[in-house]
Chains A and B, each alone.
Chain A
Amino acid sequence: MLSNPPILLLKNIHKSYGTEEVLKGVSFELNKGETKVLIGPSGTGKSTLLRCINQLTPPDQGEVWLNGTELTDSKVDINKARQQMGMVFQHFNLFAHLDALNNVKLGLTKVKGMNEEEAKSKAIEELERVGLSTQASSYPAQLSGGQQQRVGIARALAMDPKLMLFDEPTSALDPELIGEVLEVMIDLAEAGMTMLVVTHEMGFARSVCDEIIFLENGKIVEQGSPRQFFESPEHKRTQGFLDKISELYGGAER
């Protein structure tokens, strides 16, 4: 047994919806403190891959290992395992009937079994971390998209996860709100959180991530450091995609 298993290990993940195979054997690993960015054209299974990791969409084939535990094993307590993986959604998915504080607190009291007081102070702490302690009593519908997403991040962080999964966290946001969310994510990465991020924000990829994984048609086409990726991509397809992305988002040179 190796001394330090990777936080996340994917082995040959396959997933089909009906006759359409969305993921065709994806493998990679994520070590403690690493941030990896998943990019690729829409419909290539990036979101499906994230959901395969925390088993919201169980893969058809292949193995997912979290910190030495196989999640694809049917005997594993998946609710327990999911507490160690925070997930941030494209459309925030905040609990619509709860204010920001209670969105963050719910998991603490109902899943972790903390008492009210403990949970409340922890929730406030997490809201502070994303710069929203003054909005604790605002409901999701009263918050801007950027604020909602930061509450979403706080909600995930409150569970003290070992790994954070981000599913296009900024793509539903107005351009002027993207920055505040990216800032929180950059802080997190720099603080040593292990993160897997699906995003088209090349500026983020370039400045904080350790590796970029380019996924197309359910397969990894190329993976490597941002430097290698942006300066000398091995595959023509990667270059074409990067050109298109920087044209759209203009973020590659930052």
Chain B
Amino acid sequence: MDNLMLIWDSLPALLKGMLVTLQLTFAFLGLGFLVGISIAFGQVYGNKLIKTVISVYEKIFRAIPALVLLFLFYFGAAFIGIKLSAFISACLAMGLRSSAYQSQIFRGAIQSVGKEQMMASRSIGMSQFKSIIYVILPQILRLSIPSWTNEFAIVLKDTSLVYALGITEMLRQGRYIIARTYGNSLLIYITAAVIYFILVFAGSKFFGLLEKKFKIPGYETKEEKEGVRAV
């Protein structure tokens, strides 16, 4: 009973932390999306120089551990005399890191859409930019949803790492509660774990629905077609 009370009492603080966790997730994914999709197009359509620069960028951000990136941005900014809050440093470090991963998702999608679609749209007189906006982008966004769902889950869970910069996201809120109440730490961690699980699960469900909603008719798998017939 005491245990249940402890969970109940800790919920407001944990949920407050959860909001920060969600803010971080949106910020990381948003920055990662904008940068990632731009460099994916650069990687496919850019000239040699652009391709090389992007490939170096992408390799660096994928090779360095997240925690190290967080420290590098936070302390690095201070070192060169720029004052960045922990929140902004975290957004830059984790957002750019996610952009490296997201660029690979989008690059694969652009390549699988193929040159033919670009050729067709150029042939009716569309500029390259318009072709990207009206022909390529709508297709790659659809194709990317499954892999992107995965990236969403990873980024959401990795927000717990910014704990190390002192940002009071959910995990740090949990630590505060434990310190304050001399409570059962395991119980708090389990509660936090359950909240993380629910967030990831709900998010994945949401993207699953999105995928279904935007599915291009005619591409259903055989099972789905037969499923429809069976109903």
Assembly CA distance A166 to B123 (angstroms): 12
Nearest A residue to B122, CB-CB: A56
- For B123, the chain A residues whose CB sits under 8 A away are 54, 56, 82, 85-87, 89, 156
Q: Is the CB of A56 within 8 A of B119?
A: yes
**Most chain-B CB neighbours within 10 Å: which of A79, A80, A81, A91?**
A79
Q: Is the CB of A142 within 8 A of B218?
A: yes
Given contacts A82-B123, A107-B125, contact A96 B130 (CB under 8 A): no
Assembly CA distance A93 to B127 (angstroms): 17
Given contacts A56-B119, A89-B120, A96-B117, contact A110 B216 (CB under 8 A): no
In the complex, A159 has a CB within 8 A of chain B: yes
In the complex, B64 has a CB within 8 A of chain A: no
Q: Which of A91, A107, A156 contacts B126 (CB 8 A)?
A: A107
Assembly CA distance A2 to B12 (angstroms): 85
Nearest B residue to A142, CB-CB: B218
In the complex, A67 has a CB within 8 A of chain B: no
Q: Is the CB of B125 within 8 A of A94?
A: no
Q: Is the CB of B217 within 8 A of A83?
A: no
B-side interface mostly = helix
Q: Is the CB of B124 within 8 A of A156?
A: yes
Q: Which of A61-101 contact B (CB under 8 A)?
A: 79-83, 85-87, 89, 91, 93-97, 99
Q: Is the CB of A141 within 8 A of B119?
A: no
Assembly CA distance A91 to B125 (angstroms): 19
Instruction: Report the minimum CB–CB distance from B142 to chain A (whole Å).
Output: 7
Interface residues of A (CB under 8 A from B): 54, 56, 79-83, 85-87, 89, 91, 93-97, 99, 106-107, 110-111, 138-142, 155-156, 159
Closest 5 CB pairs of A and B: A141-B218, A83-B125, A93-B120, A107-B124, A142-B218
| 24 chain-A/chain-B pairs, Cβ below 8 angstroms | A54-B123, A79-B122, A79-B126, A79-B127, A81-B125, A83-B124, A83-B125, A86-B123, A86-B124, A89-B116, A89-B123, A93-B116, A93-B119, A95-B120, A95-B135, A97-B138, A97-B139, A110-B130, A139-B217, A139-B218, A142-B217, A155-B124, A156-B124, A159-B125
Interface residues of B (CB under 8 A from A): 113, 116-117, 119-127, 130, 134-135, 138-139, 142, 216-219
